[in-house]
Amino acid sequence: MVIGNKNTFAFDVAERESKDEWLETDFYNELRIVDIYIAGRSVCCDDNCVFVSQFVISVWHTAEMLKRILDYYSNEDVFFGKSVEEAHKIIQQLKDVKIETLSKYWVSNLLDWGPTTDNIICLLFPLHGKLYLTFEFWRETHQPANEIGQVFGAEVTPYEIIRACEMAIAVLDSGKRFYERK
């Protein structure tokens, strides 16, 4: 089931396919295949099997953080005259700066959701009156190798990301366990 728009930001949550009785365990029910798409590309090429409890909580935290940001465009002049790729690389060079300083301008490590997304560096930042969601593959073992360090990105809205996250949570968690734990 595709949630969102694969050309900008989306989840593709696979249906459970259990035909074996031994697979109907609590542990099995905690595992799901989820592909995440940004700019028309799957970013889960190394690992697309999520542990639902952990993944849902991580996605929820991202959606809540994005809801708290009041003005995504207030500091876009930091990247005046830069391309999307240049802005992404500048943020990467500043990754050692205190997070309080970084958060004024952009959201770094946006998809910090565990093994499913730990093969990418993902950022959200304003540029030329628009918001961009960018990522790059960083692992030396990534294939094809020519994509390592290459920046991919799409123009997005905060609503688009938040809505896709909330819908993915509802599908993965069936609206039960996670909401009872909050």
Calculate ∠ Cα 53-5-126, nearest 5°. 90
Is the separation of the CB atoms in 157 and 91 below 8 Å?
Answer: no
CA distance 166 to 155: 20
Whether 128 has a pLDDT exceeding 60, the answer reads yes
**What's residue 9's pLDDT?**
98
CA distance 164 to 50: 17
**What's residue 56's pLDDT?**
95
How far, in Å, are 47, 54, 104 from residue 74 at the CA level? Answer: 36, 33, 8
CA distance 52 to 30: 5
Q: What dihedral do alpha carbons 83, 117, 96, 106 form, nearest 10°?
A: 50
CA distance 70 to 105: 12
Pick the more confident residue, 107 or 86.
86
Query: Region 152-157: what's the mean pLDDT?
Result: 96
Please state which of the ranges 97-101, 136-140, 171-175 shows the lowest mean pLDDT. 97-101
**What's residue 120's pLDDT?**
92
Whether 112 has a pLDDT exceeding 70, the answer reads yes
Structure tokens at 53: 């409890």
Pick the more confident residue, 176 or 109.
109
Pick the more confident residue, 33 or 126.
33
- Segment 170-178 long-range contacts (CB within 8 Å, at least 24 positions apart): 171/1, 171/3, 171/11, 171/13, 172/13, 172/32, 172/34, 172/50, 172/52, 172/55, 172/56, 173/52, 173/56, 177/53, 178/53, 178/56, 178/57, 178/60
Whether 28 has a pLDDT exceeding 50, the answer reads yes
**What's residue 51's pLDDT?**
92
**What's residue 179's pLDDT?**
46
Structure tokens at 28: 């099995």
CA distance 107 to 134: 11
Q: What dihedral do alpha carbons 56, 57, 63, 69 form, nearest 10°?
A: -170
Please state which of the ranges 34-38, 72-76, 139-143, 153-157 shows the lowest mean pLDDT. 72-76
Whether 181 has a pLDDT exceeding 60, the answer reads no
**What's residue 91's pLDDT?**
81
**What's residue 130's pLDDT?**
87
Within 10 angstroms of residue 39's Cβ, the number of other Cβ atoms is 19
Query: Region 52-62: what's the mean pLDDT?
Result: 94
**What's residue 102's pLDDT?**
54
